[in-house]
Amino acid sequence: MFSQLSPELLQEILENVFDHSTLWNICLVGNRTIFSIAKKLYWKEIHWRWNAALLGYEAEDKEKCKRYQQQLVDYCSNEERVKAARSINLEFFGEFSGDYSSEFFDILEEEIPKFVNVTHLCINASGLVVEFPSAQNFGVIIHRLPSIISLRLEGCRAQEKDFEARLYLPKLQGLELWYCDPEYTNFARDAPKLYVLEVMTGDGEQWWRDEKHGVGTFGGYDDNASTFSSHSLLRKLEPDSDEEDEDEDRDGEQPREMKALERLAIRCDCVEKCWDAIAITIYIEQAIPHPDLEELIIHTPLRERDYRSIIEYLVAPSLEVFYTTIWEELPTFDNPRTPTTAQISFAEFPVLSELWLPCKGLDVDIVFDHFALQDNASLSTLYFNENDAENVDYISLTRQYAQRLPKLRHVAWKDRKFCRIKREADGQVSDVLDKEWKSPPWLVFRGIGSWWEDL
């Protein structure tokens, strides 16, 4: 059937196949036209998984080490493959042996500039056992990819001296850091066009079990060390004042103070009070303007006073999505407000449309007593925390919220219900549809999307 289709239509069909293994199977069907189209799509993604024991000068098996190097050179010598590449995923595992400045990395640094069309790079070093390549090696790789707009790092370690020479990334738009040493946040401050920043901190053990199924060895940290990642990040969001003159010489463009951010997501594994929550509060209390920030996701164990400070000092007039968590298990916002406790208003965020409140939301009067939600005319979706209550009438609760908020379209309770509100032309509630819980897509780290598929 496929053989009867035009090459243009085949191209259109195959471009919608994003699964790497499926594209490989399509390459094997035996049709020359299909193969010529599918192979270039298959080559868009490069996955290299390297045994670190074969990368150093002191590798025990010199012959295997040489073959490793030759395989890299041979691959990069294929001009058609190199030009088709859009995404490079590097994974290192095992125990690194020998000098950090290995011959393998020298070859990689020499060959990597050939990939002029690559826009995404992922470096995964979480499977390394003891030693690891220098962050300078990673920095050179990143710097020599001229078209990179998205970068994801997992389990990468570094020291401050590795970043003594600033690495300017003029095209970088999205940065994901998963359980990396805090020094890698230097990439964030040296990217003037960065609009998506997602950081995961904590000990990483649960992530390793859930996402990697416990395969290999996770080179994680103890909790005390890992929680400094966000702390260092937030301290480095602004360039140092004494570095401004130096920055002006970079192609006439000066790194911004992270004001171009549209999405900031920081998640921490910690279930109790940690430095992440304190650092986030301290940073936001500086009232640094974020005029383009649309999504703020803070999944750390905040205290109630930290939560209030964030809302009070956050300067983000374009904010549409706001999610935070509170560590204290006291049912503060589920009990009536005391006379000495101020009501919380989100009026400074005029276009706020999706809001997750840190309470169960089972008493509408108490919720509106704590939160002045009527100040937000554009509010369309309310989310509440999970609850263990039985026989809850979520339909009735949704109607009550809908009557007070004229633009409200959805009310959801985590792991319980996702209720959809139907309205008449005059805005009156006509019906409420009872749906199963549906987690919002903005909770998931997603980088900047499937941008490179369209290039």
Give the pLDDT mean for 113-131.
Answer: 82
More confident residue, 266 or 271: 266
Highest mean pLDDT among 99-113, 278-292, 334-348: 334-348
Task: Assess contact for 116 and 86: CB atoms under 8 A.
Answer: no
pLDDT per residue as tens digits for the range 325-341: 887 655 678 888 888 88
Taking the C-alpha atoms of residue 114 and residue 80, their distance in angstroms, rounded to an integer, is 11
pLDDT per residue as tens digits for the range 401-447: 999 999 999 999 999 999 999 999 999 999 999 999 999 999 998 88
Binned at pLDDT 50, 70 and 90, residue 67 comes out as confident
In the chain, how many domains are there?
A: 1
Q: Is there a domain that residue 1 lies in?
A: yes
pLDDT per residue as tens digits for the range 152-161: 998 887 766 7
Binned at pLDDT 50, 70 and 90, residue 346 comes out as very high
Closest among 312, 169, 140, 165 to 251, alpha carbons compared: 169
| Full residue range of the structural domain in which residue 34 is found | 1-43
Q: Is there a domain that residue 26 lies in?
A: yes
Per-residue model confidence (pLDDT) at position 430: 95
Q: Is there a domain that residue 13 lies in?
A: yes
Out of 215-229, 353-367, 439-453, least confident range:
215-229
The CA radius of gyration of the chain, in Å to the nearest whole number, is 25
Q: How many CA atoms lie within 13 A of 133 on its CB side?
A: 33
Q: Is there a domain that residue 163 lies in?
A: no
Taking the C-alpha atoms of residue 337 and residue 298, their distance in angstroms, rounded to an integer, is 24
Q: Is there a domain that residue 127 lies in?
A: no
Q: Is there a domain that residue 63 lies in?
A: no
Q: Is there a domain that residue 35 lies in?
A: yes
pLDDT per residue as tens digits for the range 161-197: 766 666 778 899 999 988 887 777 778 877 889 999 9
Taking the C-alpha atoms of residue 42 and residue 61, their distance in angstroms, rounded to an integer, is 32
Per-residue model confidence (pLDDT) at position 127: 74
Binned at pLDDT 50, 70 and 90, residue 40 comes out as low
Compute CA distances 261 → 193, 198, 200, 360, whole Å. 8, 11, 17, 31
Q: Is there a domain that residue 224 lies in?
A: no
Compute CA distances 41 → 7, 12, 32, 37, 218, whole Å. 14, 11, 15, 7, 32
Per-residue model confidence (pLDDT) at position 241: 37
pLDDT per residue as tens digits for the range 11-39: 555 555 555 556 555 555 555 555 555 55
